[in-house]
Structures are given as structure tokens and as C-alpha cells.
């Protein structure tokens, strides 16, 4: 009953924001550009085709928006049966069974994927933007492939545009050049670029040999969104330093060659209500099923983490903190198991392959040190886990630990809060994840400080039910209020303002107005 009341109380904001989203979109075609496709078709060895929903952060944040407004999602067609499943003009309507929007697939050759995705996006920009002490690798051939692929996605957007002034939402560091390329072909479009990862200080960014091209590409947008005000400040500082461009006194826009571009923080989030969420009362079932699956007795407390196998996620640091916990608080020996759901990521990139090996060997060493035939303190479940499974593990957890060394937002922390309709469980969250600004009722840790994180683990495992409930209830209000609908609505509302101001100028029928508005 208490659970149902809490559920009702936090449910209230979702429908309002959802309606608002649809209202805002009314009349404008929305086109999303994102590397990862929301649904991939793959062929099994028996010839059957299966559809998998992506669990990527970008997909989790953006999909609710397109479900609400309709439109087109332009993405890399990466599934082995994607071509067979594409019905019309390289695309099809999704979600399967309840179509709400069109998915347009762009096909990339092995060489293009190597240069654009593995190379420039993930060996250059990703380490450049994350403070994780991995050296970026800049290769001219990678940048050329990145530029060419950005051009191909821009072409696909223009091909999908049903009129000359769509709202185009460009997602993430894969497409820094696309906004300017789209603007050249669709000067009346309203382009919002959202950078899901951190933006570094200008002193860090300036080592990129193509820094000016990247900035010019992004500045083709009408609005550039970041996860936190700190990222906005870093970006504005980078532009100011590169072009000596004037920042407005409110620090929310920059003018480059007569064009004014808004720069704002829109903290990304998860959809508050979502089909993957188990029904009320399922918390106990999740706990039972996870214990059964892993053979864990009731006496064992459960910690859970859900991360891609990425060097920014602080997986080794997390395991070292667990080692410190078992050293400093021996009462948790045989009494605490940490389950890491680890999704392999960006395979073939040397820094990722090396990280995967280090993570396994660190866990193996700790398990040999503290484990025995009936006890394994760290369990790594490597592989893709569907949203229902992730939710089940999050609901079974006594604590969820996110130890990112640097993270744009970290939506898993918000997924944990969403999953806990029982208002139990403790979130341990890195101070260096964007989510730490909003989820202040988590136990905030510095992942480099193994002793501090171990102390937070011990505090979580001994926290009273009452304190857990108070903290979780407050976090649930925050995530319910600032969910993915709100994220999309705030961005779209700003886009709609820009669009209508331009419309008014054009309607004033000054012969030069259309051009002036396009660059305003
Ligand atoms: O944070 C950036 C991001 O694009 C996330 O949205 C997502 O979880 C992750 O990186 C996906 O990486 P990839 O598409 O390379 O698997």
C-alpha cells in the first residue's frame, strides 16, 4: 500500500510533461541524428531475425521524445539483418509492433566504421573529453573518415526533411561536423546539438589538431546543449579562446561571425514510466530470482553495478574499494557480494581490450584473496543485459555503486532510482558523474579514494531502513520531475522559440529577412 501511494505521488509529473512535449512539437517535423540505432535487427544462426532494443544512454534519453512526437531517427544500421529489415528508403517504422516514428538507417563500410567510430570518435574525442588519463590518438585518416561520415548523415537528414524548416536534434560527439553541413543545405532548420559526454577545459581541447573544424561544425547549430553548467562554461571558454568570440553577459550564448548560438545545460534523464519497469510488488520477486540465479543465501547483502566495459567507468577503482571494504570491515566477509553487469564495448580498440583484461584480473585476484568454495565476493556478468534484467538486478540490490572517473551524466544512477518503487537501496555515486549534481541524496564518493569509497560501502550496508527511505524518496522526486520528457521538452521548447522568432522575421517579408533569420 505504502509502495503504491509513493508510486502514485511520483507518477504525477510524467503525463504533464509528456503532453507538453507533443504540444511543443506540433507542426514541426523532428529529425534525430544519433550513431546508435534504437532497434537493431540481427540474424541468428538458425536464420531467424531478432530485434534488440539498444540500452545505450543516448537511446534511453532520446527515444521517449520521438515516441511522443513522432518523426525520424537517422542512425548507423549496424545489425546483421538491418538491410533485410529495412522496408522503405533504407528505413522502417518502429518500435516494432507499436510504430511511432521512422528509423532511417545509414550504411557504413568497415573502413568508415574504423575511421569514424573506432578511430576519431572513440580513440580521439572520447579520451579527449573524459578525464580518465587515456591519451587521445589523432590520425588524419580517422578525421577524414569522420568528416565524410558526418557528411553522409547530413545528406540523410536533408533527404528525410519533409519541409525546409525541421527541428533537427543532433546527438553526441559522433556528429560534431554535421550541424554546419545540415545548415548549409537547410538554412531554415532549427538545429539543436546535444553533447552527452563532458566538455573539457580549453587547455585540454586545444591539443586536438582539428579543434577549429570541430567547433565550427558545432557552431552551425542554433542551440548547443550540455549535461551540466560546468560543461557549458568549458565549451564557451574553448570557443572564446579559439575564435576570440564574444560571450554574452549572461554566459548563455556566443556570437561567431554574426551568428548567435545558445549554449545551455539540459541534464539528460530516463523516462519515468517505461514498459521495462516491473509491476508494483515485484521487488521481492527480483530479489528472490537474483538470489536463485546466483545461488546467494538470504544472509548475503547484494551490491550491483551496471556499466559498459569502459575505462571511464572506474571499474578497477570500484573493485579496489571492495577489497578495502573486506580488509577494513571483516564483518562483511561471506556477507557481501558485488554483482557487476558489464557490457562489452568498443571491442578491438586497444585501450578497451586492455581494460577488459585488467578488470577480470583485478576481480580474480580479489576473489582468490577473500573467496572460497562457497563464496565469491565479486561476480562479473559480462554481456548484454536486456532492460528487464537490468531492472531486476537493480531492484534486488541493497546498494548500487557507480564509480565513474568522469561521466557526462550516468543514466544508470537514475535507472536505479526509477527501479526502486520500494524506496529501499542506497546509491553510491561518483562525484565526477554529472548525475551527482542532481542526486545529492546518494552517498557521493571520489572513486580515486579507495578508503573513502570503502567507507561509503560500509555506510550503505549499515544504513537504517528509515534513512534509505528518506534518501530514496527524495531522489525519486528529483528523477520523476526531471525525467527524459522534461529533458526533451526543455530542449524542444527552446528550439520552438528560436524557430518561431525566425518565422516572425520571415513573415515580416523583408527581402533580406529570411537570410538574416537563418543566421540569427
Ligand atoms: O555517453 C555517450 C554514449 O554515447 C552513451 O550514450 C552510450 O551509453 C555510450 O556512449 C554508447 O557507446 P557506443 O555507442 O559506442 O556503444
Q: Is 345 in the pocket of ligand 1 (CB under 6 A)?
A: yes
Predicted TM-score (pTM) of this structure? 0.92
Res 19: pLDDT: 53
Rounded CA gap, 473 and 501, in Å? 41
Res 57: pLDDT: 78
Averaged pLDDT, 275-291: 69
3-state secondary structure at position 8: helix
pLDDT in tens, 231-279: 999 999 999 999 988 888 888 999 987 889 999 999 999 998 754 555 5
Domains, the chain, in order of start with CATH, read 13-269+485-519 (3.40.50.2000), 283-480 (3.40.50.2000)
Q: Which residues pair with 430 in a beta bridge?
A: 445
Res 520: pLDDT: 36
Q: Is 406 in the pocket of ligand 1 (CB under 6 A)?
A: no
Mean pLDDT of the chain: 91
Q: Is 479 in the pocket of ligand 1 (CB under 6 A)?
A: no
Closest residue by Cα to atom 9, ligand 1, is: 56
Pocket test for ligand 1, best of 53, 196, 404, 412 (most atoms within 8 A of CB): 196
What's the grid cell of residue 90? 533504407
pLDDT in tens, 466-493: 999 999 999 999 999 999 989 999 999 9
Res 277: pLDDT: 52
Rounded CA gap, 51 and 355, in Å? 29
pLDDT in tens, 197-206: 999 999 999 9
The C-alpha angle with vertex 342 and arms to 358 and 40, in degrees rounded to 5, equals 130
3-state secondary structure at position 226: strand
Q: Is 408 in the pocket of ligand 1 (CB under 6 A)?
A: yes
Using the mean position of ligand 1's atoms as its centre, give its distance from the Cα of residue 4 in Å. 34
Res 500: pLDDT: 84
> Closest ligand 1 atom to the C-alpha of 122?
15
Res 14: pLDDT: 39
Res 23: pLDDT: 79
Give the Cβ contact number of residue 372 at 10 Å: 10
Amino acid at each position: 500500500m505504502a509502495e503504491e501511494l509513493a508510486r502514485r505521488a511520483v507518477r504525477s509529473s510524467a503525463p504533464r510533461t509528456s503532453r507538453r512535449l507533443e504540444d511543443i512539437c506540433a507542426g514541426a517535423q523532428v529529425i534525430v541524428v544519433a550513431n546508435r540505432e534504437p532497434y537493431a535487427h540481427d540474424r541468428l544462426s538458425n536464420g531467424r531475425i531478432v530485434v534488440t532494443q539498444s540500452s545505450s544512454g543516448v537511446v534511453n534519453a532520446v527515444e521517449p521524445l520521438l515516441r511522443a512526437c513522432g518523426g525520424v531517427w537517422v542512425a548507423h544500421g549496424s545489425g546483421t539483418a538491418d538491410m533485410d529489415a529495412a522496408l522503405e528508403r533504407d528505413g522502417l517504422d518502429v518500435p516494432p509492433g507499436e510504430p511511432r516514428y521512422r528509423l532511417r538507417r545509414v550504411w557504413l563500410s568497415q573502413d568508415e566504421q574504423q575511421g569514424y567510430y573506432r578511430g576519431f570518435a572513440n580513440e580521439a574525442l572520447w579520451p579527449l573529453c573524459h578525464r580518465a588519463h587515456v591519451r587521445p590518438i589523432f590520425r588524419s585518416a580517422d578525421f577524414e573518415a569522420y568528416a565524410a561520415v558526418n557528411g553522409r548523415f547530413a545528406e540523410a537528414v536533408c533527404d528525410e526533411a519533409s519541409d525546409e524548416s525541421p527541428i533537427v536534434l543532433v546527438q553526441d560527439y559522433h556528429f560534431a561536423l554535421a550541424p554546419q553541413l545540415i545548415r548549409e543545405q537547410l538554412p531554415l532548420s532549427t538545429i539543436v546539438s546535444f553533447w552527452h559526454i563532458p566538455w573539457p577545459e580549453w587547455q585540454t581541447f586545444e591539443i586536438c589538431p582539428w579543434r577549429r573544424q570541430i567547433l565550427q561544425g558545432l557552431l552551425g547549430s542554433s542551440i548547443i546543449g550540455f549535461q551540466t553548467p560546468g560543461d557549458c562554461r568549458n565549451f564557451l571558454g574553448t570557443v572564446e579562446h579559439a575564435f576570440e568570440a564574444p560571450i554574452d553577459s549572461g554566459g548563455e550564448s556566443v556570437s561567431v561571425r554574426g551568428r548567435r548560438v545558445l549554449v545551455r545545460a539540459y541534464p539528460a534523464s530516463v523516462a519515468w514510466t517505461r514498459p521495462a519497469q516491473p509491476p508494483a510488488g515485484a521487488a521481492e520477486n527480483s530479489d528472490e530470482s537474483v538470489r536463485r540465479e546466483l545461488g546467494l543465501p538470504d544472509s548475503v547483502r547484494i551490491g550491483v553495478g551496471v556499466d559498459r566495459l569502459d575505462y571511464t567507468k572506474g571499474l578497477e577503482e570500484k573493485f579496489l574499494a571492495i577489497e578495502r571494504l573486506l580488509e577494513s570491515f571483516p564483518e562483511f566477509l561471506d556477507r557481501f557480494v558485488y554483482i557487476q553487469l558489464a557490457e562489452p564495448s568498443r571491442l578491438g580498440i586497444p585501450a578497451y581490450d586492455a581494460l577488459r583484461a585488467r578488470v577480470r584480473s583485478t576481480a580474480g585476484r580479489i576473489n582468490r584473496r577473500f573467496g572460497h568454495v562457497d563464496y565469491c565476493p565479486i561476480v562479473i556478468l559480462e554481456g548484454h543485459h536486456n532492460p528487464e534484467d537490468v531492472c531486476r538486478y537493480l531492484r534486488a540490490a541493497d546498494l548500487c555503486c557507480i564509480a565513474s572517473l568522469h561521466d557526462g551524466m550516468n543514466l544508470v544512477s537514475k535507472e536505479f532510482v526509477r527501479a526502486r518503487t520500494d524506496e529501499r537501496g542506497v546509491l553510491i555515486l561518483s562525484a565526477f558523474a554529472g548525475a551527482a549534481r542532481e542526486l545529492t541524496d546518494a552517498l557521493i564518493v571520489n572513486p580515486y579514494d579507495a578508503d573513502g569509497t570503502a567507507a561509503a560501502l560500509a555506510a550503505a550496508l549499515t544504513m537504517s531502513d528509515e534513512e534509505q527511505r528518506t534518501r530514496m524518496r527524495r531522489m525519486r522526486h528529483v528523477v520523476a520531475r526531471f525525467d527524459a520528457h522534461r529533458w526533451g521538452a526543455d530542449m524542444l521548447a527552446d528550439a520552438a522559440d528560436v524557430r518561431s522568432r525566425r518565422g516572425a522575421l520571415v513573415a515580416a517579408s523583408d527581402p533580406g529577412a529570411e537570410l538574416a533569420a537563418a543566421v540569427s
